[in-house]
Each structure stands twice: as C-alpha cells, then as structure tokens.
Amino acid sequence: MQRYSAFRLALEALRGHGGWQPAWRDAAPKDRYKVVIVGAGGHGLATAYHLARDHGITDVAVLDKGPLGLGNVGRNTTIIRSNYFTAPNIRFYDHSLKLWENLERELNFNVMVSQRGSLNLAHSDGQRDLFARRANAMRLEGVAIEMLDKDAVKALCPLIDVDNGRYPVVGGFLQRRAGTVRHDAVAWGYARAASARGVDIVQHCEVTAIPREGARAMGVETTRGFIGADKVVLAVAGHSSRLAAMAGFRLPIETHVLQAFVTEAVKPLLDIVVTYGAGHFYVSQSDKGGLVFGGGTDGYNSYAQRGTLPMAEEVHAAGITLMPALSRLRTLRQWGGVMDMSMDGNPIISTTPVENLAVSTGWCYGGFKAIPAGGTCLAHLVATGAPHPLAAHFGLNRFETGAVIDERGVGPHPYLH
C-alpha cells in the first residue's frame, strides 16, 4: 500500500500527481475463499479489515452487487455518538467511538472525524428526567455527558428557538466527543486498508443463491459464478431478509426506508450536531456548507431507495419549528436508504441456524456510528466462533430466550422504532 503523508503529497505535487496508485485492487473472484463477506459497505469492509488485522485471516473476499460504498454507508447523515441508555449498548457504542478517535492513524486515510459535539434537546420536565437518567447510566459506564439548561442551550446554539410556543426547550444533554465523519471516506479507507492486507474486493458481483449441504452453506452463487467458502458472512443492510431466505431461514427484520436531505451550501452556521426532542429531526452542517438532516422512517415496509413526500414534509416542518432560520434555505437533494429494522430496535451480530453463516443486521438507522466496533466484533465471531464480549447481547437467540434489549421501551414493532 502506498502510504499517504504530507511528504508524499509534496512529492506528487512536484511530479504533477502522476505517481498515485489506485487505493484498492478491484479483484476478480477466485473459486474459493476461507471467508466470503456479502456486502462491501461499512460493516462488511470493516469486518474484512479486522479479520486480516486481528486474526490473520486474509483469504477473504468482500462481494458487492454494485460499486462499493453505494449502500447505506454513503446514504446516512454521518453522525457518531455513544449516548445510549442500556449498559451493554453504552459499552459497545463507546468502544466504537474510541475506535473512531484513532481511525485515521489506523487506516492511514483521512476520514475527517470531527468531534464537534452532539446536543439532544428536551422539551418537557418528563423528557428532561429521562435524559438525566440516560446521562447517569452513561456516567456509570465512565462516558462523559453534560446536562444543559435552557440558557446553556441558547448560548451553545443560538439558532434554536428555545421559546417556541408549542415545544419550548427546557434543556438537553451534550456529548462533546460525539460528532460527524465523512461517510464515503470510511468505505474507501477500510477498503484500501483491507485490500493492502490481501483481501479481495469484488464489485459488481451479486449473490443470487446460497446453496446448502445439510446445515452448512457451501458458498455463494453469484452473477460472476459460484464462489466456495468455508464461512459466509452477510452484511447487507436492507436486504438481509432476502439473503437469509436464500440460505433458508427467517430473520426478525423488516425493511423500511429512511430519508435524508441536504440544503444548499452556506457559510458556517451550525457547529454541532443537534437532535430535536419533540419530533424526529437531527441536523449537522457538512464541511462543504450544506445542512445535512434526516428524520424517522416513512413508516411502512419498503425496499425503494427513495422516500415519499409526507415524511419529507414532516421532517422539514420539525426542522423549521426547531430552527426557524432554516426556512430561508432551499433543500438541494433528497435520498433514501433501506434499513434493516429489527424487532427490538437493536442490532444483531450473530451466528444463524446455518452453521457456517454469520450475520450483521438489524442496525435500524444507527449502523454508521457502529462500523469500527461492528467490524471488530463480527470478525471476532467469524474467526473464533464465539461472540465478542462487547457484542454478546446482540445474538439472534435473544428473540427466543426473551432477552431482548429494552433501549427505548417500545414493543416488537419496527414502525415504532
């Protein structure tokens, strides 16, 4: 791998930038691999990287039906944070945040980690109590979080209409280590680092069947021929149910579409991530100047990578209620991504009824922030056969034993998450 550095940049500038090499090899598939990972998104590529780095397994292929990084890793609103409520989730997501903090050095790739802070707003006394409880749960796990009152919110972010007639802001909490990351760069950085360690990244290779021999998967049938595998890993956000059906089992997953939006670029306006508490709306400003924001899912099962207008209207209405100044901006683009919504709103990193097949699924709309830890834990599961201690609570068997994760206190219906 050609290392990136200031010296290399200066050298290439003098040579007219003729010496740059492709960041990763666009490999043709071999007949057989030790591990085949389906889905070259954030989790698939991170898993391949950690298999190679932590476990010395480099006979790995990452397959994607299109070019890498065009799925949800390139469609999210780029937020990283660890302000969860249940202790195992705080530990898992904070481990991920720690990995983000060192990721650029680790991958030798500028993924533009910006720890600008993430502010969640409370609009009633009850909601503030709930935030205090969540903040205390985080402190018990040693994760820093600051409770803010209304004046502190106003001072931190003057854009917020704290005296809104219908949903006044009474306070909020701020995680200063949270922030944003350039999402495409995460896919490119992991792809480059994994490829340098010998992983094959195979693009335009769609899996069409997963043939089985008894309780084991023999490999994957693809549009570029059959690829044998000792172990198969599914990391295909949005389409996990379809791949699981090919292997002959069902998942506790529904696929829903989530929209995101970006406005025209403006001068620096918002220097933190803000999450509204009276509706589903979260916003940050990208380095290019556009405000990137999103809301909830459209509310019904959908495999369409586009959204419908009622939710677009609701998200914009919530945004303008929170920050009236946003009404002066024009929305430039809108897009949708398809999410694996699990029945308890929490992810699944698990073995399956097929002996040599593991899944990473059910990330709902929180998969991006979990990429480094998700990759670490899934690689550990695939290499050792045992769940990583940080992700032991993400097993598929929790829906059978009743140990579902009660992060937010809602029932087994994805339309509620």
Report the interface residues with another protein, using CB under 8 A.
239, 241-242, 245, 250-255, 299-304, 308-310, 343, 399-400, 412-415
CB contact set of 31 (below 8 Å; sequence gap of 6+): 226, 227, 228
Task: Please name which of 37, 52, 339 lies closest in space to residue 201, comparing C-alpha atoms.
Answer: 37
Strand blocks (E) in 11-113: 32-38, 60-63, 79-80
Considering the complex, what minimum distance in angstroms separates the CB of residue 256 from another protein?
10
CB of 107 to another protein, least distance (A): 34
Q: How far is the CB of 240 from another protein (least distance, A)?
A: 9
State the DSSP H helix or E strand holding residue 14, giving kind and residue range, or none if neither.
helix 6-14
DSSP reduced 3-state for 271:
coil
DSSP string, 80-136: E----SSHHHHHHHHHHHHHHHTHHHHHTS----B---EEEEE-SHHHHHHHHHHHH
Q: How many CB atoms lie within 10 A of CB 3?
A: 8
Q: Rounded to the nearest whole angstrom, what is the least distance from the CB of residue 249 to another protein in the complex?
A: 9
Instruction: State which amino acid sits at residue 138.
Output: M
3-state secondary structure of 264: coil
Would you say 224 or 242 has its CB closer to another protein?
242
Q: How far is the CB of 244 from another protein (least distance, A)?
A: 9
- DSSP letter at 26 equals B
By three-state DSSP, how is residue 39 classified?
coil
Rank residues 171 and 295 by Cβ distance to another protein and give the closer one.
Answer: 295
Instruction: State both tokens at 154.
Output: 């106003």
Rank residues 82 and 297 by Cβ distance to another protein and give the closer one: 297
DSSP 15: T
Residue number with CB closer to another protein (126 or 310): 310
CB of 403 to another protein, least distance (A): 12
Nearer to another protein, 226 or 399 (CB): 399
- For another protein, give the closer residue by CB, 284 or 302: 302
| Phi, psi of 309, deg, nearest 5 | -65, -35
Phi and psi for 64 in degrees, rounded to 5? -140, 145
- Report, in Å, the least distance between residue 308 CB and another protein: 6
Of residues 9 and 416, the one with the C-beta less far from another protein: 416
How many residues make up the chain in this entry? 417
